[in-house]
């Protein structure tokens, strides 16, 4: 076992052992971590409704809360910033990352070596689990995911964002719905991949073309893609930074329209390609009954 992990294991009585891998990287966790998280998820108001599902997935290894070994940590962090389907919780004393790997069909809540899982850190975990479980559920069954979330989250969200970018565009629900379904089907379960970015762009562009001329549609679509390219992939040119921040506000307005302020929860961008991100963020704020049953059906 790597040195720092050994130190963690010595310091906290948690008995770390190997829990297989995610993206080829070995994970470490323990029975006492499992027990602690499960116990907390039953007690937390937030995860009460889905606690038996969380328990089942922790016991069968679908969800792992644990550590990577030291050798791979640096490499992981470097790679991680370009990964999608992840959430980060950071404060000066601890960092917890949630990540869903479509390839391994596994959720990992990755703990920093400073995190004492037997202490306060545990209270941050239920929200992160909900977030990743929404991505898991979308990937598990796209059409079920869309039917539960389309009217309550996705249409109001994307209508707000697009209307903020282009006021008076006047989209109709059924066109918007097919575009959202198309983007979801093209992307869920996939990594950052340029071909898919273009596919999403093309889908939004075709939707916008029904309402605007070619030039305007292209410009709206480019604006929509900007936070994703700037903040998630990091491929947008620096001169677009101010515009990216402006469009980021439009994405935040989408969350305000759903009834909450997402500024402490996320830096928007993934929404351009992954409609499940909208539902993951909204559910991290407040887990509705529909999404809770969706998670419980996985
Ligand atoms: Zn996410």
* 69 Cα: distance to centroid of ligand 1 (angstroms): 24
**pLDDT for position 292:** 98
**pLDDT for position 289:** 96
**pLDDT for position 219:** 97
* 293 Cα: distance to centroid of ligand 1 (angstroms): 19
Residue with the two structure tokens 């998670």: 295
Instruction: Reply yes or no on whether the pLDDT at 80 is more than 60.
Output: no
* 127 Cα: distance to centroid of ligand 1 (angstroms): 11
Instruction: Reply yes or no on whether the pLDDT at 161 is more than 80.
Output: yes
* 191 Cα: distance to centroid of ligand 1 (angstroms): 12
pLDDT band per the 50, 70, 90 thresholds, residue 278: very high
Instruction: Reply yes or no on whether the pLDDT at 13 is more than 60.
Output: no
Q: What is the mean pLDDT of residues 111-139?
A: 81
Q: C-alpha 258: how far from its chain's center?
A: 17
Q: How many helices (H) and strands (E) does the chain have?
A: 13, 6
* 273 Cα: distance to centroid of ligand 1 (angstroms): 11
Residue with the two structure tokens 């969350």: 255
- 69 versus 198: which is more confidently predicted? 198
Q: Name the residue ranges covered by the structural domains of the chain.
A: 3-126, 141-296
Instruction: Reply yes or no on whether the pLDDT at 87 is more than 70.
Output: no
Q: Are 141 and 57 in contact (CB under 8 A)?
A: no
What is the full DSSP assignment across 80-106?
A: HTT-SSEEEEEETTEEEEEEEETTTTE
Backbone angles phi, psi at 257, to 5 degrees: -65, -30
**pLDDT for position 123:** 78
pLDDT band per the 50, 70, 90 thresholds, residue 167: very high
* 135 Cα: distance to centroid of ligand 1 (angstroms): 7
* 211 Cα: distance to centroid of ligand 1 (angstroms): 30
Residue 95 pairs in a beta bridge with: 90
Q: What is the pTM of this model?
A: 0.90
Instruction: Reply yes or no on whether the pLDDT at 128 is more than 80.
Output: yes
**pLDDT for position 16:** 84
Q: What is the pLDDT of residues 172-227, one digit of tens each?
A: 999 999 999 999 998 886 655 566 788 899 999 999 999 999 999 999 999 999 99
Distances (CA, A) of 187 to 160, 174, 199, 293: 21, 20, 9, 23
- 141 versus 14: which is more confidently predicted? 141
Backbone angles phi, psi at 101, to 5 degrees: -100, 110
pLDDT band per the 50, 70, 90 thresholds, residue 92: very low
- 213 versus 267: which is more confidently predicted? 213
What mean pLDDT, rounded, does the chain reach? 86
Percent of the chain with pLDDT over 90: 58
pLDDT band per the 50, 70, 90 thresholds, residue 56: very high
């Amino acid at each position: 076992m790597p040195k720092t992990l050994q130190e963690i294991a010595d310091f906290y009585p948690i008995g770390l052992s190997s829990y297989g891998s995610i993206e080829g990287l070995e994970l470490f966790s323990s029975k006492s971590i499992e027990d602690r998280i499960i116990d907390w998820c039953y007690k937390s108001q937030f995860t009460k409704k889905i606690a038996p599902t969380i328990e089942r997935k922790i016991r069968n290894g679908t969800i792992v809360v644990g550590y990577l070994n030291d050798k791979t940590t640096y490499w992981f962090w470097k790679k991680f910033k370009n990964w999608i389907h992840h959430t980060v919780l950071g404060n000066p004393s601890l960092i917890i990352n949630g990540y869903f790997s479509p390839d391994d069909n596994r959720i990992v809540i990755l703990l920093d070596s400073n995190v004492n899982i037997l202490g306060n850190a545990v209270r941050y975990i239920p929200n992160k689990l909900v977030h990743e479980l929404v991505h898991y559920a979308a990937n598990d069954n796209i059409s079920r995911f869309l039917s539960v979330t389309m009217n309550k989250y996705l249409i109001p969200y994307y209508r707000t964002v697009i209307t903020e970018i282009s006021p008076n565009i006047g989209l109709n629900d059924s066109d918007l719905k097919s575009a959202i379904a198309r983007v979801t089907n093209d992307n869920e379960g996939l990594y950052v991949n340029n071909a898919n970015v273009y596919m999403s762009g093309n889908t939004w562009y075709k939707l916008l073309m029904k309402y605007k001329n070619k030039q305007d549609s292209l410009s709206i679509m480019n604006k929509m893609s900007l936070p994703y390219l700037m903040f998630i992939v990091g491929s947008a040119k620096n001169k677009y930074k101010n515009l990216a921040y402006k469009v980021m506000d439009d994405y935040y307005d989408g969350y305000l329209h759903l009834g909450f302020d997402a500024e402490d929860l996320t830096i928007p961008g993934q929404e351009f390609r992954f409609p499940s991100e909208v539902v993951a963020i909204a559910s991290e704020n407040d887990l509705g009954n529909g999404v809770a049953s969706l998670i419980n059906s996985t």
